[in-house]
Amino acid sequence: MKIILAPDSFKGSLSALEVCQAMEVGVRRVLREAEILSVPMADGGEGTVRSLVDATGGKVITRTVTGPLGKPVQTFFGITGDGETAVIEMAAASGLPLVPENKRDPRITTTFGTGELILAAVEEGCKKIIIGIGGSATNDGGAGMAQALGYRLLDKNGKDLPFGGGVLKDLAQIDSSGKDPRLTDLTVVAACDVTNPLTGPDGASAVYGPQKGATPEMVSQLDAALSVFAQVVEEELGLKVADLPGSGAAGGLGAGLVTFLQAQLQPGVKIINEAVGLKEKIFGADLVITGEGRIDGQTIKGKTPIGVAAVAKELGVPVLGVAGSLGYQAELVYGHGIDGMIAIVDRPMTLQEAIASASELVSLATERIFRTFMAGRG
């Protein structure tokens, strides 16, 4: 029997690879001779680097870059097993957790460090970059990233703009003459699981600004600034990004990646599926077991288990889900390719106890649901 283990991480407790290892223990308690293939997964958010590195036999590289407040931060990116594809989580360089709550102000935070990670990947010889763009502390439209890549963003007097989304109101010209020439042949794919435009009531500033510390007054200022940015991009580069679906992701970094790196914006789970060759690995399997920390109604909106299930169902392979917990409307996943699911918590316990025992709990839950599957097969 061929079984594919393709879970996301259980955030705060187990990496996707560790979940795979725990699941394998549970399966082998029932069927020791099973052919088991582990494929650690992610959806473009936290854990994407580790999952793709683990799944492809790649490596993680550490770097010191410019953080969202302009101060150095120690961070990382991954290179997959082919040696030519880099994996970056923008939040690792420009993310909200890097900014103390009392200092959160998206008018001044920058994506410069994300640009530095991109250059670091190019210096390592990478020809393609997969970048997850969730969890940002920024609202600068990718301006800081562009500055790190060699672009100059100038005001009407020809002076370089400082960091931050607020100053984009003064943008008058984009000078690309200093762009790093190594970027010309670079392929960039952005994992983008939102469809928000850059500006307007559904845009980056209005929807995501408040969680980054923006007051209603700041939201208005930032939206106006991004409108100026979009106008200058259209005038200078001939690109229309204001209403582009996904351009508002990560404080407008979606728009910046399209503008400055000609990136493709795609659903995160689709990118990861292709990167790890999930369809080829599932072909001929008898069962797929997936999972994430919490399965609920949000899971059907592009999360890892549904992305995995879509591929499995295309090949006619049954899918089981193992989750840290089952939340509101978890049953919706039954209509999206998951045939059965189970929560790992098997008795009253605190969250801390569940996290501390997560590996064994995953093994036990996998064993229980796999025994049921085997009984159904007679």
The mean pLDDT of 14-34, rounded to a whole number, is: 96
pLDDT digits (tens, 9 = 90+) for 124-174: 999 999 999 988 999 999 999 999 999 999 999 999 999 999 999 999 999
CA dist., res. 365 & res. 357, Å (int): 12
CB count, 10 Å around CB of 2? 16
48-268 placed in CATH 3.90.1510.10:
yes
Taking only Cα atoms into account, the Rg of the chain, rounded to an integer number of angstroms, comes to 22
| Residue 45 pLDDT grade (very low, low, confident, very high; cuts 50, 70, 90) | confident
Spell out the domain ranges in the chain.
Answer: 2-40+277-376, 48-268
Q: What tens digit of pLDDT does each residue of 265-313 get?
A: 999 888 999 989 999 999 999 999 999 999 999 899 889 999 999 999 9
**Residues 61-88 pLDDT 10s:** 999 999 999 999 999 999 999 999 999 9
Using H for helix, E for strand and C for coil, what is the string for 256-292?
Answer: HHHHHHCCEEECHHHHHHHHHCHHHHHCCCCEEEEEE
Task: Please tell me the pTM assigned to this model.
Answer: 0.86
CATH number 3.40.50.10350 is the correct assignment for the domain at 2-40+277-376: yes
* Helix/strand/coil for 85: strand
